[in-house]
């Protein structure tokens, strides 16, 4: 399949930076003045213990230093004065939890988008395995959406046709397993809100909400009650055919499993898993049932390519092996 060249054809330039595009940041709200601060961490993440022992984060607004060696601010007038002293157990427990919140795991960290320049939470970036300590793409999902809106128009005819063929064959392979989704029950299950954004949705405004495949149809998962989430049109557009762990946070995955019964271990997989629990042979029959004017040899080639892509050749029975691969 033809690929796009590396020439920037989007009109959106990356922002030069003194830091690596993969660097991690910590973000915190000042305990003294409530100002949002960002701390550049770099490519080596801190453990909460390291953060507690080594970090002294000075608020850019008021100068208050966040450290285990600092008294808690006097503005906390609802605390007894002795509890604010740095030597107190209360203050030390506070600082320990403060740094755990900021550096508990990779999901707690923030990242700088090299397109819009904003420092955003980890979940604002799509996963890119092996890219930096956070394994996230360089641009945030909002900028990625803008880029894709341009690049999609630049895709070659061959690329568009290949994508269409793959989706059509995938749909045929799982068609018999799709379930009818009761929309009223779906809205009730999700409290009438977009699961990702919490936005209240109107069941009568059908264009404003979508029924999302939690496990994408791209990877051969049918639409079922357990595999259906209620998303706003915008959230569904952002998710597209991403694997759940690339779009939802860990806590969202846990809640999604609780609400729908979707398998948590499968959703949490860091790499997509193709569903092989399908009737491949029935899908082959459907794709090869064509009009006389259709190019049958080309369809056979397309089908074989998709079966190889998804590693489904072993599920093809002897009869269909003979049809597709001329085995005598």
214-264 tens-digit pLDDT? 999 888 898 999 999 999 988 888 888 889 998 999 999 999 999 999 999
What is the pLDDT, as a whole number, of residue 135? 86
Q: What is the model's pTM? A: 0.52
What is the pLDDT, as a whole number, of residue 159? 52
Measured between alpha carbons, how far is residue 297 from residues 53, 294, 306, 312 in Å?
Answer: 67, 9, 15, 20
Res 155 pLDDT > 50: yes
Q: What percent of the chain has pLDDT over 70?
A: 89
> What DSSP line would sit under 204-216, residue for residue?
T-GGGEEEEESS-
* Alpha carbons within 13 A on the beta-carbon side of 78: 0
Decide: helix, strand or coil at residue 127: strand
**Region of poorest pLDDT, from 7-16, 141-150, 276-285:** 7-16
pLDDT in tens, 35-57: 999 999 999 999 999 999 999 99
Measured between alpha carbons, how far is residue 282 from residues 90, 171, 250, 305, 309 in Å?
Answer: 66, 12, 36, 17, 18
What is the pLDDT, as a whole number, of residue 161? 58
Q: What is the mean pLDDT of the chain?
A: 86
pLDDT in tens, 103-145: 999 999 999 999 899 999 998 988 877 778 998 888 998 888 8
Res 315 pLDDT > 80: yes
What is the pLDDT, as a whole number, of residue 187? 96
Q: Which of 36, 18, 8 is nearest to 102 (CA)?
A: 36
Rounded CA gap, 182 and 52, in Å? 50
What is the pLDDT, as a whole number, of residue 195? 95
What is the pLDDT, as a whole number, of residue 91? 97
At residue 276, what are phi and psi to the nearest 5 degrees?
-105, 5
Q: Nearest 5 degrees, angle CA 225-CA 226-CA 228?
A: 65
pLDDT in tens, 160-218: 555 666 677 777 777 778 888 999 999 999 999 999 999 999 999 988 999 999 999 88
Q: Which of 219, 223, 218 is nearest to 275 (CA)?
A: 219
Residues β-bridged to residue 38: 27
Rounded CA gap, 273 and 254, in Å? 18
E strands, the chain, in order: 24-29, 36-42, 57-58, 65-66, 110-112, 119-121, 209-213, 228-232
**pLDDT tier at 5, thresholds 50, 70, 90:** very low
What is the pLDDT, as a whole number, of residue 165? 64
Res 293 pLDDT > 50: yes
Q: What percent of the chain has pLDDT over 90?
A: 50
On whether the CB atoms of residues 114 and 132 are closer than 8 A, the answer is no
């Amino acid at each position: 399949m033809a690929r796009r060249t590396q020439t920037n054809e989007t009109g959106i330039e990356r922002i030069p930076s003194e830091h690596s595009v993969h660097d991690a940041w910590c973000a915190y709200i000042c305990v003294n003045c409530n100002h949002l601060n960002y701390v550049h961490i770099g490519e080596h993440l801190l453990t909460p213990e390291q953060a507690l022992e080594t970090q002294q984060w000075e608020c850019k607004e008021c100068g208050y230093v966040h450290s285990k060696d600092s008294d808690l601010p006097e503005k906390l007038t609802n605390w007894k004065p002795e509890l604010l002293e740095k030597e107190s157990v209360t203050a030390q427990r506070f600082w320990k939890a403060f740094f755990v919140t900021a550096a508990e795991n990779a999901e707690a960290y923030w990242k700088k988008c090299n397109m819009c320049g904003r420092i955003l939470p980890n979940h604002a970036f799509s996963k890119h395995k092996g890219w930096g300590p956070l394994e996230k793409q360089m641009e945030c999902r909002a900028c990625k959406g803008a880029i894709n809106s341009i690049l999609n128009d630049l895709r070659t005819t061959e690329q568009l046709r290949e994508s269409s063929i793959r989706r059509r064959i995938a749909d045929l392979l799982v068609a018999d397993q799709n379930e009818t989704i009761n929309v009223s029950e779906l809205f009730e299950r999700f409290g009438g809100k977009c699961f990702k954004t919490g936005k209240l949705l109107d069941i009568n405004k059908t264009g404003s909400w979508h029924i999302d495949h939690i496990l994408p149809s791209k990877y051969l998962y049918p639409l079922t009650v357990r595999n259906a989430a209620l998303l706003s049109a915008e959230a569904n557009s952002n998710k597209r055919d991403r694997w759940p762990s690339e779009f939802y946070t860990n806590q969202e995955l846990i809640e999604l499993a609780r609400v729908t019964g979707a398998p948590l271990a499968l959703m949490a997989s860091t790499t997509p898993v193709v569903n092989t629990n399908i009737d491949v042979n029935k899908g082959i029959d459907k794709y090869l049932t064509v009009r006389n004017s259709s190019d049958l040899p080309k369809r056979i080639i397309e089908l074989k390519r998709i079966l190889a892509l998804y590693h489904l050749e072993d599920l093809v029975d002897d009869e269909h092996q003979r049809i597709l691969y001329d085995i005598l």
